[in-house]
Amino acid sequence: MLTRMDLRDLRPPTDPDPPVVLHRTDVPADTWAGLLADGAYRRLTTTAALRADVGEDAARRAHALVTSVPDRAVVGRRSAAWVHLGGDPPPYLDLLVAPGQRLPPDPARTCHQTLLSTRDVIVLGGCRVTTPTRTLADLALVPDAHDLWPVLAQLTEQGADPVAALACTARTARQRGVRRARALLTELIETC
């Protein structure tokens, strides 16, 4: 005997507890596109999306990067600032590794060799990220640091310590741009 079929019987089963952060590699391409198009998820990065019904925070932004960060690397510089502050993600992932270490080339990331102590790194969302203070020190050292003044000020407002960042630059005395970074951090201390 034929029975009337309900369209709901044809739908695939849904996950009762979908992940908060979904990585592009977790689902087939058509499912990824459908979840974004339907508004179930909103894009955080090119490879991760956040469930639409939850808020964004530093741990979730860091977790969005976890599949792109090798074990021996730490998220730093502009990428760490994005993790701590939000906004638009940087165009590429900034990773820090110990001096003498290298990562395989990848156009989606840049790799910088630098000394990091255990107090310079925190784990957020399963991902190793420089602390806000270390991020402040590292950003002050980049060539276009003056253009990053709003980010530096926002990091300071969120709890980064510019005095400790200034002291951190003493450990990088032979690095390029240290004098400029110290002047910038001193200006930041005086204005905040």
Model pLDDT for residues 7-40, shown as the tens digit of each residue: 555 555 565 689 999 999 999 999 999 999 999 9
Model pLDDT for residues 99-116, shown as the tens digit of each residue: 999 999 999 999 999 999
Per-residue pLDDT, 2: 53
* Residue 6, in any domain of the structure: no
pTM: 0.88
* Residue 48, in any domain of the structure: no
Other residues' Cβ atoms within 10 Å of the Cβ of residue 83: 28
Count of CA atoms in the C-beta half-sphere (13 A) of 55: 2
* Residue 74, in any domain of the structure: yes
* Residue 2, in any domain of the structure: no
Q: Among 175, 188, 176, which Cα is nearest to 146's?
A: 188
Instruction: State which amino acid sits at residue 118.
Output: T
* Residue 9, in any domain of the structure: no
State the residue range of the domain holding 149.
58-191
Q: Which two tokens stand for residue 15?
A: 């996950």
* Residue 160, in any domain of the structure: yes
The structural domain count of the chain equals: 1
Q: What is the DSSP string of 5-72?
A: PPGGGGSPPPPSS--SEEEGGGS-HHHHHHHHHTTSEEEEETTEEEETTS---HHHHHHHHGGGS-TT
H-run or E-run covering 111: strand 109-113
Query: Distance between CA atoms of 182 and 137, rounded to whole angstroms?
Result: 9
Cα–Cα–Cα angle for 29, 34, 36, nearest 5°? 100
* Residue 42, in any domain of the structure: no
Over 80: is that where the pLDDT of 84 sits? Answer: yes
